[in-house]
Amino acid sequence: MAARLLVDCDPGHDDAVALVVAAHFGELVGITTVGGNAPLADVTANALLTCQLFGLDVEVHAGAVRPLVAAPRHAPEIHGVSGFDGPTLPDLERRPASTEAVDYLIETIRGEEGLWLVPTGPLTNVAIAIRQAPDLVDRLAGISFMGGSAGPGNRTPAAEFNLLVDPEAAAAVLSSGARIHMAGLDLTHQFTVDDALSADLRALGGPGAILLADLVDGYLDNAERVTGRRWGGLHDPCAVLAVTHPEVIESELRRVEVELAGTFTRGMTVVDLRAGDRRSSEAPNVHHGHTLDHPTARRLVLEAVAALDGEPAP
Ligand code: RIB
Ligand code: CA
């Protein structure tokens, strides 16, 4: 039986791809949104547009507009002001089911045991839900999140964006006792985003694939401006594939902490890579994904986009 998934996201193109992969290879039960790549209203509209374009009959519930403690932070330099900058977007015909994502998560997870929760943005909604309803931890099959890194960060030298936006939320989730799978930058940078991926998406020909190709082109233009390279990682689908296709990701159970106080390291994930060292005083808490079968993962993503997309233009 396909895994039943709840995705908490902040689209961005890679969140959009994650939604398509989740819907095709899993059973996408519901979507919640969180301010991250762009403000909440924008990422919610982008999630709704993704569902509209790919014909996903899934409710979208808007959630946290800002982090638990930190000031809001977005990524216009990478994803554009709207989070979907670049292409001309079709008119949005869908509306959010509610603005109460946390209530939706609590109610849905209490209503069905064994769901996977897949956060691909800041962990604010997830942390609030677990704080209000600690019983969720034992009802979930697990939490498979995109975020952090066992190596360098992206938004700062030490911190990955999702965890930098809300480190307090991430620390709460990683210490919640839930089964946790981590798709950090050290894994997701193995899923190459480049002009070849854009071309392969565009060659699928459907309206959704072409929009994703346009979004990837905009992302690569921004990456080239910010980093000097037309290259990036297709981050968020890795968190979904860790659930739907665990064979494409090798992982190791490790201790992972989130730095909250460091002047230069706030939001950093400290991943204990000392294999077998007994000096780690804390028990391992995270299945750290470290190696990706990129060719298979890439094939699966293109398969999902092609399968759920509309007909190519005549
Ligand atoms: O650092 C990468 C993460 O930040 C991805 O989830 C991307 O969508 C952005 O949210
Ligand atoms: Ca994201």
* Domain extents in the chain: 4-309
> How far does the centroid of ligand 2 lie from the alpha carbon of residue 243, in Å?
17
pLDDT digits (tens, 9 = 90+) for 115-136: 999 999 999 999 999 999 999 9
- Residue 290 annotated among the catalytic residues of the structure: no
The stretches of the chain forming alpha helices (DSSP H) are 13-25, 40-53, 76-79, 101-111, 124-132, 136-139, 161-165, 167-174, 185-188, 195-204, 207-227, 236-244, 294-308
- Residue from 7, 8, 10 whose mutation best tests the ligand 1 pocket (most atoms within 8 A of CB): 10
For residues 276 and 59, the model is more confident at 59
* Ligand 1 pocket check for 160: Cβ under 6 Å: yes
Residue 141: which residues within 8 A CB-CB, separation 6 or more?
3, 114, 115, 116, 179
> How far does the centroid of ligand 1 lie from the alpha carbon of residue 191, in Å?
13
Catalytic residue among 79, 235, 287, 290: 235
Report domain 4-309's class: alpha beta
Please give the pLDDT value at position 128.
98
Average predicted confidence (pLDDT) for the chain: 96
Residue 310's pLDDT band (cuts 50, 70, 90) = confident
- Compute the distance between CA of residue 305 and CA of residue 234 in angstroms, rounded to an integer: 14
Please report, rounded to a whole number, the percentage of residues in the chain having pLDDT higher than 90.
Answer: 94
pLDDT digits (tens, 9 = 90+) for 62-71: 999 999 999 9
* Total residues belonging to the chain: 314
* Ligand 1 pocket check for 46: Cβ under 6 Å: no
